[in-house]
Amino acid sequence: MKEKGKRVIPGLGLSLGVTITMLSVIVIIPLASLAVFTARLTPGKFIDVITNRRVLAAFEVSFITAFIASLINAVMGVILAWVLVRYEFPGRRIIDGMIELPFALPTAVAGISLTALTSDKGWIGRIFDHIGVKIAYTRIGITFALVFVGIPFVVRAVQPVLEKLDGSYEEAAGVMGASRAVIFRKVIFPEIRPAVFTGFGLALGRCIGEYGSVVFIAGNQPYKTEITPLIIMAKLQEYDYASASAIALVMLVFSFTLLFAVNLIQVRNTKILKGGR
């Protein structure tokens, strides 16, 4: 229903006009060009490009490292959010503030300092070098950088939900005699589960496309530590725009699917909470 009352406020034409124009020029038209350039490839050529061994290897590296990093983030994110909301201890505010660092620190800076930190001369790399584990220039290093990049997504998704969680749920379970472990598993976790999935999804999306913090630590060896964004970069430098577009399109489809999945979880969740029958 369109309410007449809404039209009392002036400026619909102007504001909508400016919004759509700017959105088209800056976002929609450039993105559409991706499809245009990909369309220059025949379907067969398109398949060839994206199933090239080196490209597939890059997809694999990107996906596996991003997935593992996001899993670590999901676990660590819940722990950090829990500790920040539920426990009172000296240094809590500092941890709370530091969580945001990956949003504020330029990715290139994060990239080179994580590389220096985990190379065999760095503080962490040196320790692991003793037990024969190399971090920098391996997939472990990529994962390490992606954990850094993704952690705020999970913490900031879960934290507000935990804060708002009504204490009476736990009291109700407690009065009935449930143990702490049961209360967490059966009462608290279901409440934060949608937020954990959301945080995981957002972190995964970000990690798959991440470039700045990864290029330095990755070592960029084809088939081993070369990530998808780097392949696109390489194709661009060879002026192979069609291939670059094709690979980019695959990534784009993946991240949209991921977002869609995250939205789906949210929708299902609202259904349980708001009650449609």
Partner 1 sequence: MAYVELKNINKSYGDFKASDDVSFGIEKGKLIGLLGPSGSGKTTILRMIAGLETPDSGDIIIDGKVVNGIPASKRGIGFVFQNYALFRYMTVFDNVAFGLKYGPYAQKDKKYIQTRVNELLELVGLAGLGSRYPSQLSGGQRQRVAFARALAPNPYLLLLDEPFAAIDAKVRQELRSWLKQIIEKLGITSIFVTHDQDEAIEVADEIIITNNGRIEQMGTPIEIYRDPQTAFTAAFFGQTGYLEDYRQFKCFEPVGSIDKAIVRPEFVKLTKKNEYQKFKSSAEEATVERVSFRGNYIEVGVESHGSHFVARRELEQELVSVGEKVDVFIYRIFVTKDNKAYLLKNSSLREESVVI
Partner 2 sequence: MAEAVLSPVKQRPEKKRRTSSSDSARTARPDLIHEDGAGSKAVRLFLIGLSFLFIFVMMILPLATVIKEALKQGWAAYQAAVTDEYTKSAIMLTLLATFSALAINTVFGLFAAWAITKFHFKGKKLLTTLIDIPVTVSPIIAGLIFVLVFGRQSFLYPYLKDAGIQIVYAVPGVILATVFVTFPFISRELIPVLEAQGTDEEEAAALMGASGWSIFTKVTFPHIKWAFLYGVVLCTARAMGEFGAVSVLSGHLRGKTNTLPLYVEVLFQGFEWVPAFAVSSILVIMAVVILVARNIFEHNAKTGSGGV
- Binding residue for partner 1, selected from 93, 131, 168, 239, defined by CB under 8 A: 168
- Binding residue for partner 1, selected from 48, 96, 191, 240, defined by CB under 8 A: 191
Listing DSSP states for 226-273 in one string gives: --HHHHHHHHHHTT-HHHHHHHHHHHHHHHHHHHHHHHHHHHHHHHHH
User: What, of partner 1, partner 2, none, does residue 153 touch, CB below 5 to 8 Å by kind?
Assistant: partner 2
**Which part of the chain contacts partner 1 (CB under 8 A), choosing from 14-22, 79-87, 104-112, 167-175?**
167-175
User: What, of partner 1, partner 2, none, does residue 42 touch, CB below 5 to 8 Å by kind?
Assistant: none
Residue 7 is classified by DSSP as G
Q: Which residues contact 227 (CB under 8 A, 6 or more apart)?
A: 58, 61, 62, 65, 142, 211, 214, 215, 218, 220
The alpha carbon of residue 67 and the mean position of all alpha carbons in its chain are separated, in whole angstroms, by 9
Q: CA-to-CA distance for 19 and 51, rounded, in angstroms? A: 39
User: What, of partner 1, partner 2, none, does residue 107 touch, CB below 5 to 8 Å by kind?
Assistant: partner 2
Looking from the CA of 192 toward its CB, the CA atoms found within 13 Å total 31
**Which residue, 116 or 178, has its beta carbon nearer to partner 1?**
178
- Binding residue for partner 1, selected from 90, 177, 238, 267, defined by CB under 8 A: 177
**Which residue, 156 or 193, has its beta carbon nearer to partner 1?**
193
Q: CA-to-CA distance for 133 and 141, rounded, in angstroms? A: 11
**Which residue, 57 or 234, has its beta carbon nearer to partner 2?**
234
User: What, of partner 1, partner 2, none, does residue 186 touch, CB below 5 to 8 Å by kind?
Assistant: partner 1
Q: Which residues contact 254 (CB under 8 A, 6 or more apart)?
A: 208
**Binding-site ranges for partner 1 (CB under 8 A):** 166, 168-169, 171-179, 182, 186-187, 190-191, 193, 272-275, 277
